Amino acid sequence: MEKVLEVSDLHVSFSTYGGEVKAVRGVTFDLHKGETLAIVGESGCGKSVTSQSIMRLIPDPPGKIIRGSVLFKGMDLTKVNEPQMRKIRGADISMIFQDPMTALNPTLTIGDQIIEGIRQHEQMTKEQAKKVALEMMELVGIPSPTIRFKQYPHQFSGGMRQRMVIAMALVCRPEVLIADEPTTALDVTIQAQILDLFRDIQKETGVSIILITHDLGVVAQVADRIAVMYAGKIIEEGTRREIFYHPQHPYTKGLLNSVPRLDIEGVDLVPIGGSPPDLFSPPAGCPFAPRCDDAMEVCDRVYPFKTTLSKDHHVDCWLQDERAKLASITTTFNA
Ligand code: SF4
Ligand code: MG
């Protein structure tokens, strides 16, 4: 499948009074045309920082892309200048956030905002832009778009506001849509509707989606592939099927055990004990070791290699790696 985005060895840090927080520590993934890749993990795992770095929205300082690359249409987005990046944002890569209110201007009508968004990127008359805007409102399922067009954000429900934000994000037909916890602020019924909408617009437009979430329920509904993040790294990656039915990393298994499953009834939910490591001084070995029931001696010392389990399924865990035995007896071993 055609790759639209290639993130390689991305490292992002924040300098604080307490020292340098290594929020993203070598993240690598591809996004293919027309797919939804979910990036999943607990709060603070680096998933939002990863997506903001792709968009170059990390405030620098205190944030900094230390190394790595983000390839998009032959450009490395970590290197392009700000005016160029402004052209890319919204037109080629769009982003939506958890709270639709932050993306909308309360003092402008919905129509004026969406037209403004279009005309930032496209040479169009107001009338042409209005036509595009109304079509997009229709596509995202806003009833009576011509009436809604003249209304203000406060006249919309939470779900309708999020639909509007999605319309604005898609209006310039971006190739990539990054959605950071897009349904977290919505109630469950509306959540399901918005997730259905993602699927519909993907079918309609072929947009590739990166979905950032802590909620595996959301992932189960829409993701083609899933990347699980922990302590600034992707620790397991696979198709939805592989992650849900054949998870290999103890952390992924823990995450799955800690969420309600529609397909398995009557199973007690077990939260993962302990908390993620401090990212001021991340451990040399596996960052999950202190919380892992299967940890071996080598785990504390050496970060595991990536083990390939299938074309799409990769895991960073010594349990999957024959070399763990060798590593245990070789003290100078370095991953
Ligand atoms: Fe557990 Fe070791 Fe695997 Fe880390 S590498 S998840 S500590 S078994
Ligand atoms: Mg976040």
Confidence label for 167 from pLDDT (cuts 50, 70 and 90): very high
Confidence label for 217 from pLDDT (cuts 50, 70 and 90): confident
Q: What is the ipTM of this complex?
A: 0.95
pLDDT > 70: percent of the chain: 94
Q: Is 60 exceeded by the pLDDT of residue 127?
A: yes
Q: Which residue has the CA at smallest separation from atom 7 of ligand 1?
A: 289
Q: What is the CA(44)–ligand 2 centre distance, in A?
A: 7
Q: Tell which wins on pLDDT, 111 or 101.
A: 111
The tokens for 13 are 């840090």
The tokens for 86 are 């402004």
CA dihedral 214, 219, 220, 222 (to 10 degrees): 160
Q: Which residue has the CA at smallest separation from atom 3 of ligand 1?
A: 317
Q: Is 170 in the pocket of ligand 1 (CB under 6 A)?
A: no
Which residues fall inside 5 Å of ion ligand 2, going by CB? 48
Give the least confident one: 56-65, 92-101, 173-182: 92-101
DSSP tally for the chain: helices H, then strands E: 13, 12
Chain mean pLDDT for the chain? 92
Alpha helices, H only, 95-213:
100-103, 110-121, 126-139, 145-148, 158-170, 188-205
Mutation pick for ligand 1 pocket among 229, 233, 249, 305 (CB with most ligand atoms within 8 Å): 249
Q: Is 80 exceeded by the pLDDT of residue 184?
A: yes
Q: Is 70 exceeded by the pLDDT of residue 76?
A: yes
Q: What is the pLDDT of residue 186?
A: 87
Under 8 Å between Cβ of 184 and 219: no
Mean pLDDT of all residues in 122-149: 94
SS3 content of the chain, % helix, strand, coil (to 5): 35, 25, 40
The bound ligand whose nearest atom lies closest to the alpha carbon of 44 is 2
Q: Is 230 in the pocket of ligand 1 (CB under 6 A)?
A: no
Q: What is the pLDDT of residue 18?
A: 87
| C-alpha to C-alpha distances, 25 to 43, 149, 257, nearest whole angstrom | 16, 44, 26
Q: What is the pLDDT of residue 335?
A: 45
Q: Is 80 exceeded by the pLDDT of residue 166?
A: yes
Does a cis peptide bond (omega within 30 degrees of 0) precede residue 153? no
